[in-house]
Amino acid sequence: MQKELYSTCLYINFSQLHSNIQIIKENIKSSSIIAMIKANAYGCGDILIAKKLSKLGVNYFGVADFEEGIRLRDNGIKGPIMVMNTTVDSVEKIIEYNLEPVVNKKEILLSIIKTNTKASSTLIPIHIKINTGMNRWGVNPSDLSSIIKLIQSSSKKIVIRSIYSHLSSAENRHHDRFTDVQINKFLKIKKLFDTNFQYHIHTHILNSFGFKYFSSKINQFDHLRIGIALYTGFKNSNLKSILELRCKIAQIRELNINDTVGYSREFVVKKKMQIAIIPFGYADGLQRSWGNGTLKFYFKGHLLPTVGNISMDSCAIDITSLYNTNMINDGDEVIYFGKERSIWNLASELNTIPYEILATLSKRIKRIYYD
């Protein structure tokens, strides 16, 4: 449909995505990319992002759960797909759709071994996640010997595609020593697998911030597992954001002293003012607590604060300073984040992170892709 029909749009720049991929590839000569496209590709739209990445030579994907993986398969994505949050109950579906389960505890491996496959010769590729200090998902190092013995003694044709771990604090330079501890612990564990298996098992531990701050370590591993850097880039980096979210002003209202705005009448007008109604609310990805000036939209060099509580489908912003000089009109677009207003700066203002802003963007927001 014509983009003019939509008042709130997320614009996704495929040319910039291509540029980001090229920059990353230039820095990982002997490694390859596993692209994280969980959570609807960080809000960008998983299907079209996966298809574009495939054309750009990135064919290994990571998703959060089996439903995300099945959705990709049903839409023609044929490359390998890791299911990061595999559960005991989802193993059968994961194998049925030729997805690759992640073993993060012994019970999942036992479920894989017990699962009936259509052919006894079916090869089941798995990934083993190892806890090196994040203390979230992952097999503890002390339990790895029993995991290895189970695989070796199983009559199932199980092949370990990779072992991997996750850095807890790569983005925080104050924790570099801990990151080094995690990497070194993982490298020791790699030797354990090299000793026990006669085939090459791929390894990966570096994420987006691992790529940024620990580039000297990259070529010690087979893959770079990257997500946020693909979509938003970094501050002061050659990697740039591929995203911009803009909203059209739906209505302008003039208010008088003692008028109130929004639910609970929390904003009371102190002097005559103009507000703009934006078709973007907490059902679209905002938080209700971002009303009353916490969130500001960007327009031609100005930051325009929210007024009153944010509603489910809309919010109001103060445009008084611009309206009186005829700088802003009904139908103009204000920017939530984009080239002129970094998502990293927005996240900092809101005391959150870009991941949360992107992951909560509703699917009802129109995605528009362009080169």
Bridge-partner residues for 35, per DSSP?
61, 226
Verify whether residue 38 is a known catalytic residue: yes
Identified catalytic residue from 38, 52, 248, 296: 38
Per-residue b or e along 260-285, where b marks 16 or more CB atoms closer than 10 Å to that residue's CB: ebbeeeebeeeeebbbbbbbbbbebb
- Give, in order, the Cα–Cα distances in Å from 123 to each of 120, 189, 212: 9, 24, 36
| CA quadruple 212, 218, 224, 228: dihedral, nearest 10 | 0
Rounded to 10 deg, the angle between the 144-153 and 106-114 helix axes is 10
Identified catalytic residue from 3, 55, 149, 263: 263
Verify whether residue 106 is a known catalytic residue: no
Report residue 257: phi and psi, to 5°.
-55, 135
Three-class secondary structure of residue 141 per DSSP: helix
How far apart are alpha carbons 258 and 277 in whole angstroms?
Answer: 19
Annotated catalytic residues are 38, 263
